[in-house]
Amino acid sequence: MKANLFEGKGVVLRVGELYLKGGNRHLFMKTLVTNVKRAFSDRDDVKLYTGQGRIFLHGACDEDVLDRLRWVFGITSYSPVEFCKKDITAITECAVVMAKQFSGNVDTVFRIAARRSDKSFSHTSAQLGIEVGSAVNVATGYGVDLEKPDLSIGIEVGREWTFLWTETQKGGGGLPVGTSGRVALLLSGGIDSPVAGHMLQKRGVSLIGIYFHAFPYTSDGAKNKVIELAEVLARRQKKFKLCVVPFAKVQEALRDAANPGYLVLLYRRAMIRIAEALATEVGIKALATGENLGQVASQTLENMAAVEEAATMPILRPILAMDKAETIDIARAIGTYDISIQPFEDCCTLFVPAHPETKGTAKTAAKFESRANWQDAVQEAIANTEVILL
């Protein structure tokens, strides 16, 4: 990037946790830049630039641009900015315009927060604050309050850029998706599992989704709902593979051989076995679910232990200790809540008794499994899994 290469509107992106990564920082930054570029691949009017530890977008800062940045993980905050010439007159004029655009009144107070990283610039940070602040005061009549201003105008003068801003929006935080490996998410049509996937992506994980579809007991509406949920998660990573597993025959086999109270536990043990097989095919070594401790009768420590006995991979539960209200708040924020509450039941609601076992054991589950020919049904489900690339 050359000095004063551009003027006009744009966005400055800030990172936080990435600066703690030491010798690997450049790898995290490279992935973040790639993810930002991907987020704007269809916006020819938005260009990305990097320099001096900064990431900039230039060309636009409309609501669509800001909305796309919201869930690019690795960004701590971002600000719509106005780029201008590295000249005290140009900087002052830009600050005055910004101040006049602010909907203030006679009681409005402001401050100038100036930073000069280019030490060859004619004015120090303090001198910038005084000169630009004086011009804003004369032009608007606003008072000055450095501690609790109604309007804060930021100014940054670098070797290769100069920009001003008046607002900062919170970013998604976390780590860039793609820096923490891959996990297979057991994705249902409910509220919890998409939020669990979101939380993993925030920690840099790339996902594949595994959905258990019990057609003809459940409709294609249930399947389409899960595809919609997967599409939300897919926006945050390079590609998203959704595996749709035909699960009805597995459920039928277990239903006919087990105590009804154990059915949910048996279904989940079968799901884990199938998910592991599908994950292994693509080199994934961990699973994740949207389970939440004590949220429903079947999600107890005893039942979770009985399910894990059937697993050979780690099972991650990102929302294990969250209140339902917290999960719903996140679902609303990320755009999955309205999809999840569509009235289509998934396979977990089939053949389920009113009072499922809450303290199941792996030994008892294995006893029921020994009475059923579920292995053939599991292999058939794996073989007939539909793969949808999003």
Beta carbons within 8 Å of 255's beta carbon, 6+ residues apart: 263, 351
8 A C-beta contact, residue 339 and residue 187 = no
Amino acid 351: pLDDT: 63
Pair of tokens at residue 67:
């909305």
Quote the Cα angle for 200-203-206, to 5°: 60
CA neighbor of 189 nearest in space, from 227, 234, 241, 235: 227
Examine the fold and report which residue of 123, 140, 170 is the final residue of a domain before the chain moves on. 170
CA atoms of 222 and 211, how far apart (whole Å)? 10
Q: What is the DSSP letter of 32?
A: H
Shared-domain flag, residues 214 and 235 = yes
- List Cβ<8 Å contacts ≥24 apart for 38-47: 38/238, 39/68, 39/69, 39/72, 39/235, 40/65, 40/68
For residue 176, tell me if it sits in a domain. no
Q: Considering only CA atoms, which of 148, 366, 144 is closest in space to residue 273?
A: 366
Q: How many residues does the chain have?
A: 390
Strand order in the sheet with 315-316: 315-316, 287-288, 182-186, 206-213, 241-246, 386-389
Please report the pLDDT score of residue 1 as a whole number.
43
Find out whether 255 and 351 touch, Cβ atoms under 8 Å.
yes
Give the per-residue pLDDT at 138: 97
CB 288 within 8 A of CB 183: yes
Q: How far apart are CA 21 and CA 23, in angstroms?
A: 6
* Residue 175, domain member (yes or no): no
Q: What is the CATH number of the domain that holds 24?
A: 3.30.2130.30
Token pair for 264: 């949910």
Q: Residue 5 has what pLDDT?
A: 62
Q: Which residues have CB under 8 Å from 243's CB, separation 6+?
A: 208, 209, 210, 211, 278, 385, 386, 387, 388
Within-domain flag for 260: yes
The range of the structural domain enclosing residue 153 comes to 8-170
Residues 300, 341: one domain? yes
- Per-residue model confidence (pLDDT) at position 160: 86
Q: Token digits for 370? A: 């020994």
Helix ranges, the chain (H): 25-39, 63-69, 88-101, 125-140, 192-202, 220-234, 248-255, 263-281, 301-308, 324-334, 337-340, 362-370, 374-383
Amino acid at 361: T
Q: Please report the pLDDT score of residue 16 as a whole number.
A: 79
Q: Are residues 110 and 218 in the same domain?
A: no
Record the tokens describing residue 18, joined without a space: 């990435």
Question: Please, which residues have CB within 8 angstroms of residue 200's CB and are 6 or more apart in sequence?
Answer: 183, 185, 207, 288, 316, 318
Q: Which two tokens stand for residue 138?
A: 């004369």
- How many Cβ atoms are within 10 Å of 364's Cβ, its own excluded? 18
Q: Give the domain CATH number at 269.
A: 3.40.50.620
- Segments of the chain scoring below 50 in pLDDT: 1-2
Which residue, of 112, 143, 170, is where some domain finishes?
Answer: 170
Q: Is residue 320 part of a domain?
A: yes
- Do 159 and 188 fall within a single domain? no
- Residue 342 has φ and ψ, to the nearest 5°, of -60, 140
Are residues 192 and 162 located together in one domain of the fold? Answer: no
The total domain count for the chain is: 2
The predicted model scores a pTM of 0.91
What is the radius of gyration, based on Cα positions, of the chain?
27
pLDDT tens figures, 80-103: 999 999 999 999 999 999 999 999
Residue where a domain terminates, one of 170, 201, 225: 170
In a domain, 131, yes or no: yes
The pLDDT value recorded for residue 356 is: 86
Report yes or no on 2 lying in a domain. Answer: no
